């Protein structure tokens, strides 16, 4: 078991909202003692889903009991469908029924869905409670657990209802990744690759060399998580509310979210990281089409993602992705749209992403039409 005192610690410097990301093996079992040390006298509501509960809930709550911490548990259905008003209401009701006070904490034990849902609940219950992220997927450890973006989905699109609410602590247990299916490990890896493609070509070079070791576990996996967390922490420090450079973290997400909407958030067909993988390739290909980047960079990005077992084309989505009109409708619901103008994260090459305002919709439509035919 990793002693939290010896784990890798990545600070997120946000003044009065600052917190730490603690990265190490078997932190789930050690969480009780760590929480007791950091938040003396607090009680907890541990929120998770049925799948995560089967693997981790007993170990986590045993640690709370050993530390003599009061807690209740709330277990929801797994999957993207739980990012809904209905599930949010059930979580809020569970927290209030447990009589937690404003100074107590919610625990998000799970992947990105649980983190987004619990963070949103924490932000609105009693006008704001503290919460701790305990991400159990690679995607959540390197992306969604850090930065305070929370929310739920609606029929109009993904993450359209939510708020910024920073956690008080992130405990990233790298050993928890051993319980993931190969598919979900690959999906999380897409978010790791994203940091290299945005502004760190040396990291992308490193990933091309160490991809196999990351999937096998061990030091390379922990290093990849730490490097990704440091990259995100720095962006969040500069632009907490996504008014500027933080938008770069959405590389591939405008296309990817549209694909998730087109597949009705059906995890059998497409999970978030797979949508992001396709979206990042599309962003590079669209950039090449606009003569902003070399087609060779798009090929290189696609080759690496494909080698990791990720889909890179629209044709690889089971059941298809619908029509151009449907995809464009979803793209126009993206949170980065301003006064009806499209904003995309595009690139001038590997590690050279930038935010492009006022992208001509007809060019996006023509591009997608060609990709659907191809």
The 10s digit of each residue's pLDDT in 91-113 is 999 999 999 999 999 999 999 99
pLDDT at 323 over 80: yes
> Is 20 annotated as a binding-site member?
no
Catalytic residues: 127, 149, 191, 232, 242, 246, 250, 253, 257, 272
The pLDDT value given to residue 155: 87
> Is 263 annotated as a binding-site member?
no
> Is 8 annotated as a binding-site member?
no
- Contact call for residues 271 and 184 (beta carbons, < 8 A): yes
The pLDDT value given to residue 4: 62
**CA dist 36 to 46, 59, 146, 285, Å?**
15, 16, 22, 50
CA dihedral 179, 183, 187, 189 (to 10 degrees): 70
Phi then psi for 323, rounded to 5 degrees?
A: -105, 165
> Is 210 annotated as a binding-site member?
no
> Is 63 annotated as a binding-site member?
no
The 10s digit of each residue's pLDDT in 125-175 is 999 999 999 999 999 999 999 999 999 999 888 889 999 999 999 999 999
> Is 54 annotated as a binding-site member?
no
Domains of the chain, each with CATH number or no CATH: 4-179 (3.40.50.1970), 182-373 (1.20.1090.10)
């Amino acid at each position: 078991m990793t002693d939290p005192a010896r784990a890798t610690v990545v600070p997120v410097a946000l003044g009065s909202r600052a917190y730490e990301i603690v990265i190490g093996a078997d932190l789930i079992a050690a969480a009780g003692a760590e929480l007791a040390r950091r938040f003396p006298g607090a009680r907890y509501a541990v929120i998770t889903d049925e799948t995560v509960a089967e693997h981790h809930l007993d170990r986590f709550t045993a640690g709370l009991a050993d530390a003599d911490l009061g807690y209740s548990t709330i277990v929801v259905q797994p999957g993207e469908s739980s990012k809904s008003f209905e599930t949010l209401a059930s979580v809020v009701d569970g927290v209030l029924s447990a009589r937690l006070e404003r100074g107590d904490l919610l625990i998000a034990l799970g992947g990105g869905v649980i983190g987004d849902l619990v963070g949103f609940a924490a932000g609105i219950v009693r006008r704001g409670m503290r919460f701790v992220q305990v991400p159990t997927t690679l995607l959540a450890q390197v992306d969604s657990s850090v930065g305070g973006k929370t929310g739920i989905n609606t029929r109009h699109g993904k993450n359209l209802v939510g708020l910024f609410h920073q956690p008080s602590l992130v405990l990233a247990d790298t050993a928890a990744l051993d319980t993931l299916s190969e598919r979900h490990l690959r999906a999380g890896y897409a978010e790791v690759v994203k940091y290299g493609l945005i502004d760190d070509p040396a990291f992308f070079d490193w990933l091309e060399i160490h991809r196999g070791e990351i999937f096998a576990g061990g030091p390379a996996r922990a290093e990849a998580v730490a490097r990704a967390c440091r990259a995100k922490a720095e962006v969040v420090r500069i632009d907490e509310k996504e008014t500027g450079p933080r938008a770069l973290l959405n590389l591939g997400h405008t296309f990817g979210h549209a694909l998730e909407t087109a597949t009705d958030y059906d995890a059998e067909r497409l999970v978030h990281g797979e949508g992001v993988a396709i979206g990042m390739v599309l962003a590079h290909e669209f950039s090449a089409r606009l003569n902003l980047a070399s087609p060779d960079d798009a090929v290189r990005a696609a080759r690496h993602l494909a080698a990791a077992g990720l889909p890179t084309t629209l044709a690889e989505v089971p059941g298809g992705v619908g029509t151009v009109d449907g995809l464009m409708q979803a793209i126009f619901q993206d949170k980065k749209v301003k006064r009806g103008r499209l904003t995309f994260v595009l690139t001038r090459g590997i590690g050279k992403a930038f935010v492009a305002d006022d992208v001509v919709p007809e060019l996006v439509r023509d591009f997608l039409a060609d990709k659907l035919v191809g």
